[in-house]
Amino acid sequence: MLISGTLLALITSGLTLLFLSDAPAWVTQGAEMIVVLAIFVLVCLVETTGSRSDKSNAQ
């Protein structure tokens, strides 16, 4: 659920940056911040998911 919501936010913000280039500055800055945060969350989720599977295999 968290991954799908993050992907949706990433795609929506990316499309906003692509198609609304003449939007006000606060819209583009907000969309850029959402893209960065979404990528950060996805990387963190992938890292925690990978570390769980490594720990269970080591025991």
Q: What is the pLDDT along the chain (59 residues), one digit of tens a residue?
A: 778 888 888 898 888 888 887 888 898 898 889 889 988 988 898 888 876 555 555 55
Q: Into how many domains does the chain fold?
A: 1
pLDDT of residue 28: 87
In a domain, 3, yes or no: no
pTM: 0.70
Q: Which helix (H) or strand (E) holds 29?
A: helix 25-58
In a domain, 28, yes or no: yes
Instruction: Quote the pLDDT of residue 45.
Output: 87
Looking at the domain assignment, is residue 26 inside a domain? yes
For residue 21, tell me if it sits in a domain: yes
Report the Cα–Cα distance between both ends of the chain, in Å, rounded.
29
Predicted pLDDT of residue 46? 85
pLDDT of the residue at 58: 55
**Burial of 13 from C-beta contacts in 10 A (0-12 / 13-18 / 19+):** buried
